[in-house]
Structure 1
Amino acid sequence: MGQKVAGTAYIKVDGMQLTVTGGAEAPLSDKKRETVYPGFFKEEPLAPYLKMTVLHTPDLTIKTLTEGKDMTITCEFNNGKVYVLSGAYMVDEPVSKGDDGSIELQFDGIKGVWQ
């Protein structure tokens, strides 16, 4: 029997529903490990984040996205898993693409929790 593990993600930024065209991406861990010698590793903190591609719809409030500094972002993946990013703010340089109406967004935050 097959199980659905992928598909549409549902994302809300401070209650505003975004129309997601592609997938969404969230880290599984809050740390990054790197091997320095077989059996030995170093560990660094990894900032929690959410990446996604959304449509630039007429009801998309750009000001909320660009000026928010303490947002709560909820991402519900189609497999039923939910990731909540708190203390979120937009990073990088998002642009609206005229050819397909999409915007690639990345939000970093203070805390990311899988529920």
Structure 2
Amino acid sequence: MGQKVAGTCYIKVDGEQLTITGGVEVPLSKFKRETITTGVFKEEDLTPYVSVDAVKTPGFPQAKLENGTNMTVTAEFKDGSCYVLSGAYVVDEMKMSADDAKVAIKFDGISGDWQ
């Protein structure tokens, strides 16, 4: 029997759904480890994030994204899982490609939780 593990994804920012092209990335872990020597490692916290390629459609919430510093970003995946980023804000530069109206957006936040 087949299983859905990928496909359509939905992104909402403070409840407002963005039109996306499918390019969504979220972390699966809250930390990363690095080996110092055999059997000894260090562990660093990772900043929770959501990275997405959206489409600049009419009504695109540019001002909200640009000015928001405490947004909630929800990524709903085809396999039924959901990642919620709280205290979110846009990092890096938002820019649009004229060829396809694609806007690369990276949100960092205070807390990222799988539900």
Aligning the two structures, in what range does the TM-score lie when normalised by the shorter sequence?
A: over 0.9
Instruction: State the identity as a percent.
Output: 57
Partner of 1:89: 89
Q: Tell me which amino acid in the other structure corresponds to 1:26.
A: V
Question: Secondary structure in 2 aligned to 1:2?
Answer: coil
Match of 2:48 in 1: 48
Partner of 1:57: 57
> Quick check: 1:4 aligned with 2:1?
no
What SS is found at the alignment partner of 2:63? helix
* Cα deviation 1:2-51 (Å, max 9, x = unaligned): 10100011010011110110231111111111111121111111110001
- Quote the Cα distance in structure 2 between the aligned partners of 1:15 and 1:63: 15
Q: Provide the C-alpha distance between the structure 1 equivalents of 2:91 and 2:8, rounded to a whole number of angstroms.
A: 23
SS at the partner of 1:78? coil
How far apart are the structure 2 equivalents of 1:23 and 1:96?
A: 14
Q: Which runs of 5+ in 1 are unaligned?
A: none
Q: In the alignment, what sits opposite 1:112?
A: 112
Runs of 4+ in 1 over 2 A off after TM superposition: none
Q: Tell whether the 8 Å contact from 1:54 to 1:104 is kept in structure 2 after alignment.
A: yes
Is this contact kept in 2: 1:53–1:105, CA < 8 A?
A: yes
Gaps of 5+ in 2: none
Q: How far does the alpha carbon of each residue in 1:72-107 deviate from its partner, in whole angstroms, 9 at most, with x for none?
A: 011101111000000000001110110111011100
State TM-score, norm by structure 1. Answer: 0.96
Larger mean CA deviation between 21-30 and 45-54 belongs to 21-30
**Equivalent residues of 1:8, 1:23 under 8 A apart:** no
| Residues paired across the two proteins, number | 115
